[in-house]
Amino acid sequence: MATKTLEDIPGVGPAIAEKLREAGYTELMTIAVASPKDLSETCEIGEKKAMDIIEGAKLCADIGGFETGDAILERRKSVSKLSTGSKAFDDLLGGGLESQAITEFFGEFGSCKTQVCFQLAVNATLPEDKGGLDSDVIMLDSENTFRPERVIQMANYLGVDPEETLKRIHVARAFNSQHQILLVDKAIELAKDRKIRLMIVDSLTSHFRAEYLGRGALAERQQILNRHMHDLLNFATLNNAVIAVTNQVAAKPDAFFGDPTRPIGGHVVGHTATFRIYLRKGKAGKRIARLIDSPSLPEGEAVFSVTEDGIKD
Ligand code: ADP
Ligand code: MG
């Protein structure tokens, strides 16, 4: 894909491009859908000039086109489902995590988001008739919580060779949000040489939250996060892959029920993720998964447990 830049807009040179980027208009699409008034005010350019830039961006931006329903149905026939390891959890998701989509797990610290990621990584290496994807896995680890020991425990329980399993899980530490974004490009490269049908980003949002502080940085953070989510979705489509991301929410009793937009990157993440699952602790060591906002499945809950052997009913 030949991607155009802001400088491709007629009448936009380096100086104006710089102003636009500084104001958070880093994408042609963001400019194409901006209002002349906002653009003029935030970039300190005349309103007429702003209108010309917006018109130019509309011509340069890849707005996309229409696809007929039957073509979409055809593409969806190749969707696979990745098992979570728990029957109840899989049933909640209509059989497992879908490929060609992003599934977001959000919950408090300790709600087993990372445990679910380990299990998905191990399961993805299994054959398709065992609920896997028969593929390698990419794991972007932003919190340094990858533990090979856990993968070994889970692989042993499933009766598969732990070393072979570890060899198929490609882990990269993401040191900051920019690095995390670049790692998706790396992942696209890696996926050219081998079958990669699961990409995990654990956590999707922690670097963004730490780096973009305060109200002033919010718009920029959301835009960059939005772009990152679209890169991930692109990977999902190109590779018929499952994307699983985690998102930590604040430990407050109303973290979800009081205000469902509380997860970091609320709107952006919520609108791009196809499936959102809220994880929380239940009684007697049980964990509860709640499906929110699915395009085709009813809302509901599943109870599962996390043991030394992994995720189970
Ligand atoms: P999050 O990523 O949501 O912050 P984690 O996935 O790290 O949370 O979950 C940590 C929890 O996972 C621990 O509190 C524990 O209940 C469970 N856990 C971790 N390792 C094991 C294990 N080896 N056996 C059983 N449970 C485990
Ligand atoms: Mg974690």
Residue 73 has what pLDDT?
A: 87
Between 313 and 293, name the one with better pLDDT: 313
pLDDT tens-digit map of 230-260: 899 989 988 999 999 999 886 554 444 444 4
Find the range with the poorest average confidence among 52-66, 99-113, 132-146: 52-66
Q: Per-residue pLDDT for 261 more than 50?
A: no
306 lines ligand 1 (CB under 6 A): yes
Q: What residue spans of 102-176 are helical by DSSP H?
A: 113-124, 148-158, 162-167
Q: Per-residue pLDDT for 135 more than 90?
A: yes
Q: Per-residue pLDDT for 275 more than 80?
A: yes
Cα(112) to ligand 1 centroid in Å equals: 5
123 lines ligand 1 (CB under 6 A): no
Residue 113 has what pLDDT?
A: 96
Residue 50 has what pLDDT?
A: 95
Q: What is the 3-state secondary structure (H, E, C) of 254-309?
A: CCCCCCCCCCCCHHHHHHHCCEEEEEEECHHHEEEEEEECCCCCCCEEEEEEEECC
Query: For 160-171, what is the mean pLDDT?
Result: 98
Residue 64 has what pLDDT?
A: 72
Q: Per-residue pLDDT for 265 more than 80?
A: no
Which atom, in ligand 1's list, is nearest to the CA of 109? 4
Q: How far is 313 from 310, CA to CA, in rounded Å?
A: 10
Cα(192) to ligand 2 centroid in Å equals: 29
Per-residue tokens: 152: 């070994």
Q: How far is 135 from 164, CA to CA, in rounded Å?
A: 12
115 lines ligand 1 (CB under 6 A): yes
Residue 215 has what pLDDT?
A: 76
Query: For 23-32, what is the mean pLDDT?
Result: 86
Residue 263 has what pLDDT?
A: 57
| 112, 245, 249, 287, best to mutate for ligand 1 pocket (most atoms within 8 Å of CB) | 112
40 lines ligand 1 (CB under 6 A): no
Q: Per-residue pLDDT for 310 more than 90?
A: yes
Find the range with the poorest average confidence among 21-35, 175-189, 247-261, 287-301: 247-261
User: 114: pLDDT confidence band, cut at 50, 70 and 90?
Assistant: very high
Show me where the domains of the chain are located.
Answer: 6-61, 76-312
Which atom, in ligand 1's list, is nearest to the CA of 150? 23
Region of 169 please: left (phi>0), alpha (psi -120 to 50) or beta: beta
Share of the chain above pLDDT 90, in %: 65
Q: Per-residue pLDDT for 167 more than 80?
A: yes
Q: Per-residue pLDDT for 181 more than 90?
A: yes
Q: How far is 164 from 156, CA to CA, in rounded Å?
A: 11
Q: Per-residue pLDDT for 80 more than 60?
A: yes
Mean pLDDT, all residues of the chain: 89
Residue 166 has what pLDDT?
A: 98
Residue 284 has what pLDDT?
A: 84
Q: Per-residue pLDDT for 270 more than 70?
A: no
Does domain 76-312 match CATH 3.40.50.300?
Answer: yes
Q: How far is 109 from 186, CA to CA, in rounded Å?
A: 29
Residue 259 has what pLDDT?
A: 46
111 lines ligand 1 (CB under 6 A): yes
Cα(125) to ligand 2 centroid in Å equals: 21
282 lines ligand 1 (CB under 6 A): no
Question: What's the CATH number for 6-61?
Answer: 1.10.150.20
